[in-house]
Amino acid sequence: MSILNNFRIVSGGFVLCLGLSIAAEAGEMKAGQSEKQGGPAEQKEVTLPKDWGHFIQGSVLRVDQGTYFVKDLNGKNLRLATDHTTQVMGEFKKGDHILAKVTGQNHALSIIPAP
């Protein structure tokens, strides 16, 4: 099973457990009443990070001062920025195949060898 599939399974399990715990908590309270005061229920909002990231798999074209230039599986050339928070497993050079978790702004959160 690939790393991408493992991540999807773990993420899905986390979201499912989070939803079940919220549903269980809501089921314990009477409709329209809060737990402590017996008045209208307080609205609880669960906030999750907006940019959990997505995966890019491709071939390294070059690495220049912490910026990875990659051709993805669709043939699109991408620039992936890194910084001290990026987790990089190994050193990559032209032609290496990588799997990168990136934000919407193409900041690499992690880079590993592609399976």
**What pLDDT shows up at residue 23?**
47
Give yes or no: residues 61 and 37 share one domain.
no
**What is 19-60 written as a DSSP string?**
HHHHHHHHHHSPTT--TTTSSSPPP------S---EEEEEEE
pLDDT, position 13: 47
- The count of other CB atoms within 10 Å of the CB of residue 90 is 9
Are residues 98 and 62 part of one domain?
yes
In the predicted model, what is the mean pLDDT of the chain?
A: 75
Buried residues in 9-35 as b, exposed as e (16+ CB within 10 A): eeeeeeeeeeeeeeeeeeeeeeeeeee
Whether 42 and 83 share a structural domain: no
Same domain, 70 and 109: yes
User: 5 and 35, same structural domain?
Assistant: yes
Number of folded domains that form the chain:
2
Which carries the bigger pLDDT value, residue 23 or residue 52?
Answer: 52
Are residues 22 and 67 part of one domain?
no
Domain of residue 76, CATH code: 2.40.50.320
- 19, 70: one domain: no
pTM for the model stands at 0.56
- Is the pLDDT confidence value at 54 over 80? yes
User: Same domain, yes or no, for 17 and 39?
Assistant: yes
In this predicted model, what pLDDT tens digit does every residue of 82-94 receive, in sequence order? 999 999 999 999 9
Percent of the chain residues topping a pLDDT of 70: 56
40 and 24, same structural domain?
A: yes
pLDDT digits (tens, 9 = 90+) for 56-87: 999 999 999 999 999 999 999 999 999 999 99
62 with 30, same domain? no
Structural domain boundaries, residue 9: 1-48
